[in-house]
Structure 1
Amino acid sequence: MSGVVFTVGNALMGDDGAGPLLAERLESEPALDWEAIDGGSAPENVVHAVRRAAPDRVVLVDAADMGLAPGEIRIIDETLVAAQFLITTHAIPLDVLVASLRETIPEVIFVGIQPARVAFWETMTPPVRAAVDDLHRRFVDGRGLAGIAAVA
């Protein structure tokens, strides 16, 4: 096992469903050396499955308001997750989740997708859907996060 793509989000809240959609894509067309685990809107309920997989690295993917154009993808330093980019649709703060994962996993990377619309019963916007498709293709093609910028 090389890595886990651990997704977070609520598929009933428009662009917040980016994470679950990525997990769905990776389950239907898997990426070599990556396992997808969908944490949904309560990732703390499945963090045990991530730990059980004993990965070398975890890529945590969620919608994140970074003040960018919808669909932009960025790597976010864990120190910035709670302070600036948390979309509060989850039961526990994501920085707490990242810290918990770091206790047993050597590398945890947070990847944010800029949403346009996060509200109940909304559909996912085309730019966010395209970003999910791009991330899926990157993992399947073996590129992973290569070339994705960090939040500046």
Structure 2
Amino acid sequence: MANLLLCVGNIMMGDDGAGPLLAERCLQGMPANWTVVDGGAAPENDIGHIRDLRPDRLVIVDATEMGLAAGETRVIDAEAIAELFITTTHNLPLSFLIDQLRPDIPEITFIGIQPETVAFYYPVSAAVTQAVDRLYRRMAHWLPDGGYPRLMMTND
């Protein structure tokens, strides 16, 4: 298997539902050479399944507080992930998940989407929905070894 997309988040928590929303979009038709896993609020439960799939690359998408405008997306350096998730809606920090998978997966990229509102029973905001839709449309253009810049430059 070449590419695995792991979508993380809690759909009951407003913009923290960005990952599950992306997984839902992917069910409408995933680009060739991609498989999607909806990790929900406990993606560590999927570690064994992800290892079994043996992807060459793993792209993790989650709502991430980065101090940007709502809907902005960035690649987050793996070493910075632990610092960014001091407060998290997940059971374990994503740095734990990445540390567990790194020996088995040659390339792991984390994409954060800046949330507007993370609170129970709020819908995903328009800005985050647009960011999710943009990522979904551009997944077919991902290139290995740092393909995110190309992904963001591709025309919709």
TM-score by length of 2: 0.90
Per-residue deviation at 1:50?
Answer: 1.2
Aligned to 2:137: 137
Give structure 2 stretches of 5+ with no counterpart.
Answer: 143-147
Distance 2:6 2:91 in 1: 16
Distance 1:16 1:71 in 2: 12
The one-letter amino acid paired with 2:134 is D
Aligned to 2:99: 99
Aligned to 1:115: 115
Aligned to 2:19: 19
Give me the identity figure in percent: 48
Aligned to 2:145: none
CA gap 1:58/1:74 in 2 versus in 1, 3 angstroms: same
The answer to whether the 8 A contact 1:64-1:112 is kept is: yes
The answer to whether the 8 A contact 2:74-2:111 is kept is: yes
The answer to whether the 8 A contact 2:4-2:37 is kept is: yes
Number of equivalences: 147
The answer to whether the 8 A contact 2:71-2:131 is kept is: yes
The one-letter amino acid paired with 2:101 is L
CA gap 1:87/1:71 in 2 versus in 1, 3 angstroms: farther
Per-residue deviation at 1:85?
Answer: 4.8
Query: Which aligned pairs between 1:28-43 and structure 2 lie closer than 5 A?
Result: 28-43=28-43
Give structure 1 stretches of 5+ with no counterpart.
Answer: none
The one-letter amino acid paired with 1:20 is P
Distance 2:152 2:93 in 1: 24
CA gap 1:36/1:113 in 2 versus in 1, 3 angstroms: same
Per-residue deviation at 1:87?
Answer: 5.0
Aligned to 2:84: 84
The answer to whether the 8 A contact 1:64-1:87 is kept is: no
Distance 1:64 1:124 in 2: 14
- Is residue 85 of structure 2 the alignment partner of residue 70 of structure 1? no
Distance 2:3 2:22 in 1: 15
- Aligned alpha-carbon RMSD (Å): 1.4
